Amino acid sequence: MKLLFLFLLGLWSCRVKPIHPHPLDPLTPSEFNLVQTILQKSYPSSIKNLTLQYIGLDDPDKPLILSWLSSSNSKSKPPPRRAFVVARDHVHKQSLEITVELSTYSIVSSKIYTGHGYPLLTSDEQTVVSLLPFSYEPFIESVKKRGLNISEVVCSTFSVGWFGEEKTKRVLNLLCNYMEGTANLYMRPLEGVTIVVDLDEVRIVKYVDRFIVPMPKAEGTEYRASKLKPPLGPKLKGITVTQPDGPGFKIDGHTVSWANWAFHLGFDVRAGPIISLASIFDVKEQKYRRVLYQGFISEVFVPYMDPTEEWYYETFFDSGEFGFGQSASSLEPFTDCPANAAFLDAYYASSDGTPVKISNVFCIFEKYAGDVMWRHTEILIPGQVITEVRPDVSLVVRMVSTVGNYDYIIDWEFMPSGSIKLGVGLTGILEVKGATYTHTDQIKEDVYGTLLADYTIGVYHDHFLAYYLDLDIDGEANSFIKNNLETEKVKHHSSPRKSYWTVVSETAKTEADARIKLGLKASELVVVNSNKKTKPGNKVGYRLLPGSIIHPLLLNDDYPQIRGAFTNYNVWVTPYNKSEKWAGGLYADRSRGDDTLAVWSLRNRDIENKDIVLWYTMGFHHVPCQEDFPVMPTLRGGFELRPTNYFESNPVLKTQSPKNVYSPNCSSHP
C-alpha cells in the first residue's frame, strides 16, 4: 500500500511530497488569472495593445525537478512555479517574451524577440479576421458574380509560410467555402479567391479574384448521421468492455497509476498532451524504474503539393502555428472513447489571458481488443497438452486535435510488458480545390491531386509528426546505439550455408552519428544506460520500433523544406537542453528554418553517456482516393518504445489474468 501511495503521488524516486502541487502540473485557471493580473499591473499603459499569444508552464530545468524528486525531505518546496508568456505588441509590431514567477507575483524576465518568425496564432484573432471579408465590397461582388448567397459563405485562416522574402509581416490568407446544402463546407471551396489579412492591423491588405470554376455539388458530401438517406450501411451490434470491479487505474491530480506504470499527464496549448516521469515497477527488483522523463508531439508539418498561386503557400505547422492543444476537441463518451473511459478537462488562456476550458479533453481507459500478451501450447510432453495464455490489456491516454479540416487522434498506450505505443489516427475532411473536371479523361495536365467527384480535386500532401522523447533509462546518463544487422559470408567449410547475418553495434559519439534515415539499413536503434547492466552483462535499454516511415520528397533548398528540415532525418539525438523543445522553432509562423532541430544539431555535440533526447519523426504521404470522400476513414500509424534487456526476463511472466466476465458466445466456462 505504501508503494501504491507513492505511485499515486507521481513520484519518480519514492519520496512523499503531498503539500505542494507537482511542478509539472499545467497552469490552473487561477494561475492564468494571476498571470493576467500581473501583466496588467506591469504594463498599464500598453496592455490594451498586447495580445497573449502563448501562456504555458515554464518547466523548471530538469536537474531542479530531479533534485526535488530525490529530496529526502517530504515537505521540501518544489522549484519556483513560473509561467512563460509570448505577447504581441500590435503598435510596435514586436513579440515579447515574459517570464512570470507566480509565488512572488512578479516578472522575472522580459525581452523583445528580434529573430524571424511569429508566435502561435490565437483562436480569438483568427475568428476576428475571418469576418473581415463580409464587409469588404470586392469580396461581396465576387460572391455575387458566382451566384452564391453570402449568408452561406464561411471563411477560415491559412498560414502563408516563407518564400525568401527579406522582410515579412504577420499576415494570414483567408480561403472561403460554401455551406448551402451541406455541413461539409470544405468540399465546396470558392476557388480562385485569395484574401490576405494583416493580423497586427486587423485589415485586408491584398485581394485577388483570378478565375471562376464550377462550385462542387453539395450532393453526396453530407456526413451527419441524421441527414444521411437510405440505403444505409451495415448496422453494427453493440459492443463494450465490462469492468465489474471498476477501473484498474487511478488518477490523483495529474498523476496516473495503472498496473505496473505511473506517469504524469500534462497539457500545453501548443503541444497538447505531455507525458512526464513515466516509470515502471520491476517485480524482481521490487522498485519503480525510470523510463521516460518527458514526451510530446513537438511539431506537425503538413506541406501540400500544389505549386499554383492559390495553393503554393499551404505548408502548415499545425502545432507551432495553430496549436495542437488550442485545437483540441471535447471527446464524446461511447464514440471517441469506450464506455469504461474516464475524462479530464484542460485549460488554456485566451488572447487576453482569460482561462478557456476544454471539457473532456483527455480520456483514459483500459483497452482489451482480444489481443494476446503471451501464449504457448506444448504437445511434446507425453500424455499432456499444456496451454498458457495471457490476455493483453493496456492503458490508453487519448486526445483529439481538430486543426481545420483534419482530425488527429493522439494515443499514448502503456503496456504491462513495459512497451509504450504511440499512435496517430488521421481522419476528418480532405483539403480540396475546385476544378472544371468531371472525369479523369478530361485531365491533360498535372492537377496535383486526385479527382474525387465532379469539380473536386483532393490535393496531394504529407503529414510529418515530430516527437520529442526524453528517455531516461534507469537514469539520465544514456547512450544511443545502432545495432546494425550485417550480412556475413561463411568462411569455413564445415557448413553448407553460405551466409548469415549478425549484429554489429555502433555507439553514436556525437549528434551527427545519430542522424538516421530509416529504411536504408537494417538496424535496431536502442537507447541504453551503459552504467547499468543485466546479470548476463547486457546494457539495459529501450529500442525504437518505427512505423509509418516516410522521407520528405521536396528539394532541400525549397523554402518549405528549409523550414521543415527537422524531417530530413527520421531520427535525431541531441543532449538535453531546456530551450530546445520545438523542432520547428519557438516562432514557427513565417519562420525561416534558422531555429530548428536541424540547426541545433549542427553543433554536433557529444551524446555518449549523456542526458539525451531522442527525436523521432513519423508520417504519411497522402495520395487522396475516392474512399476519402466526403469524409476520411481513419488512417492509422504509430511506433513503439520497447524494453530491450531492460528486465532480467519476461516482465509479464507472472502477470495475473483479469477476472473472467461471462460471455454467452463461449462454448465452455471455467
Known catalytic residues are 318, 406
Rounded CA-CA distance 246/152 in Å is 48
User: Does 44 sit behind a cis peptide bond, omega within 30 degrees of 0 on the bond before it?
Assistant: no
Look at residue 32 and give its three-state secondary structure.
Answer: helix
The amino acid at 472: D
Indicate the burial class of 662 (C-beta count within 10 angstroms; 0-12, 13-18, 19 or more).
exposed
Phi/psi for 340 (5° steps) reads -90, 15
Residue 265 CB partners (closer than 8 Å, separation 6+): 254, 255, 256, 273, 274, 275, 276, 344, 362, 364, 397
Dist. CA 331–CA 359, nearest whole Å = 8
Residues 6 or more apart whose Cβ sits within 8 Å of residue 417: 373, 642, 643, 651, 652
Residue 100 near residue 32 (C-beta atoms within 8 A): no
CA dihedral of residues 164, 167, 169, 170 (deg, nearest 10)? 60
DSSP summary character for residue 76: P
Report the 10 Å Cβ neighbour count for 587. Answer: 23
Short-list 405, 475, 444, 461, CA closest to 630 = 405
Total Cβ atoms within 10 A of residue 145: 9
Q: Residue 156 half-sphere exposure, CB side, CA atoms within 13 Å?
A: 13
* CB distance 637 to 462 below 8 Å: no
Helix, strand or coil, per DSSP, at residue 182: coil
How does DSSP classify residue 49? G
Q: Measured in Å, how far apart are the chain's first and last C-alpha atoms?
A: 31
